Chains A and B, each alone.
Chain A
Amino acid sequence: MAAALPGLAAAMAAGGRRAVYPLFQLGGPQLRIFRPNFFMLAVRPGVPQPEDTVQFRVSMEMTKVDIKNYLEKIYNVPVAAVRTRIQYGANNKKNHKNQRVKKPDYKVAYVQLGKGQTFQFPNLFPEKEQDEEARSFDDFRKKYLEKEQQIQKGDPRRGGVPDWFGL
């Protein structure tokens, strides 16, 4: 496993600290990581993408070559091209103490599949048959919300005028 080469043993990140990799100099060996801890998640594209393009959010430390190897080796997906960009997370929202709250930055990768494959992001929340309990609860909730909206609009018998006016 990872203990095979003494130089690689230090690569593991301990308790969230930055991983230390052995120094690379010209002619040196290729760095190989035995148990990569990099995450990669598929996202639904905000802007419609061509059929062969898949959009991912990846770890900040991953490069295009890393992403290609990751998909080919771990997921067995043929990759033709990868393009990446870093999305800056805004820092202008404020919490209850009036301190600025930062949304985390993340790296987006646009992967074009090889061998003419296509990908369409699936619908992960299809409508399913609700059981009786869920249906009755939904009905109850709908009625309650309707009532609330009626109160907001005002009594139809008074012509929709709010309660504030008149008697």
Chain B
Amino acid sequence: MNSSPPGVHIIRKDAQITSELTRNLFHKNLAKVEPPHQLKFLHTTLSRSGLEEFFDDPKNWGEKTVKSGDAWNIKQLRGKSSEDLHKLWYVLLKEKNMLLTLEQESKRQQRPMPSPERLEKVQKSMKNIDLVVKERETALRLLQTGHEKPVPGEWRNDFLGRTYWYTYKEWPIPWYLNKKYKKRKFFYLPHVNHFIRLRLEKHLCVRARRQNLEKKRQKVLHMKFPHLAVKSQSQ
């Protein structure tokens, strides 16, 4: 851990992200720190600016495929501290921007983009970070206030008789001065009951059909592969 530059505690998964991280940090400290010999510098036509981060390592320009590691798993991210996740988010964001730039340029030049699966991996990783942060926020909020959701709300009926979760919105004026809000109906009249019943019937029919199909499929499988049947737990 001591060998890595100051402020970087992320356990790097992806080889590219490693080089990118070290590249980013050393760009800022170039004036003060003598860079070690194992770092390769980019000598390109771009003037010295952070815009180089919108493009891949120049060695990879023109390659057919670029190797990259797997996406970050939720289980792996749960073990990281909030600071680490914060830094990882920005690393992934820059990587995503770089890949999108490459995608657009490849469309422009009518060439295949090298390794487009990298985009999906980055998007999946970012989604996972979001989920982990949400989990942590919910836990903290539950402990501090006892509320699970960040925004309060309630169950309401709309004019068609459907029940849904209405989240409260922030307004600069109270509800009785809000003309648009007053036009909305959060109740239904008695003539809608017939249609609620029909909708319920439809929902039940669909559910019964799905369950029947599942049972039939299981029966067919049982007939075809009797040796794979699950044995009952009772003695």
Q: Which A residues form the contact surface with B (CB < 8 A)?
A: 1-3, 6, 9-10, 12, 20, 22-23, 25, 34-37, 39-44, 54, 57, 71, 74-78, 113, 117-120, 122-128
Contact = CB atoms under 8 A, between A and B. Distances in A.
6 tightest Cβ-Cβ pairs between the two chains A and B? A75-B50, A23-B170, A9-B150, A41-B100, A3-B137, A41-B101
A117 B49 contact: yes
A28 B212 CA distance: 58
Interface stretch (B126-134, B179-187, B203-211): B126-134
Interface string B136-173: 11001100000000110000000000000000011110
Contacts of A117: 47, 49
A128 B63 contact: yes
Contacts of A120: 45-46
6 contacts: A6-B150, A41-B54, A42-B55, A43-B104, A43-B108, A125-B106
A114 B29 CA distance: 20
A126 B114 CA distance: 13
B46 A34 contact: no
Contacts of B202: none
A128 B133 contact: no
Among A71, A74, A127, max chain B CB count under 10 A is at A74
B85 A1 contact: yes
B89 interface: yes
B125 to A, nearest CB: 13
Main secondary structure of the interface of A (DSSP, over half): loop
Main secondary structure of the interface of B (DSSP, over half): helix
Contacts, number: 113
Interface residues of B, number: 51
A101 to B, nearest CB: 17
Contact of A74 (B63, B94, B126, B150): B94
A124 B130 contact: no
Given A9-B141, A23-B172, A119 B51 contact: yes
B61 interface: yes
Contact of A75 (B51, B106, B111, B169): B51
Interface string B34-56: 00000000001111011101111
Contacts of A22: 170
B137 A9 contact: yes
A4 B128 CA distance: 20
A12 B100 contact: no
Contacts of B86: 1, 34-35
Contacts of B94: 74-75
A123 B44 CA distance: 11
B221 to A, nearest CB: 34
A6 B152 CA distance: 12
Q: Pick from B97, B104, B136 the residue with the most CB of A within 10 Å.
A: B97
A34 B168 CA distance: 23
B93 interface: yes
B105 interface: yes
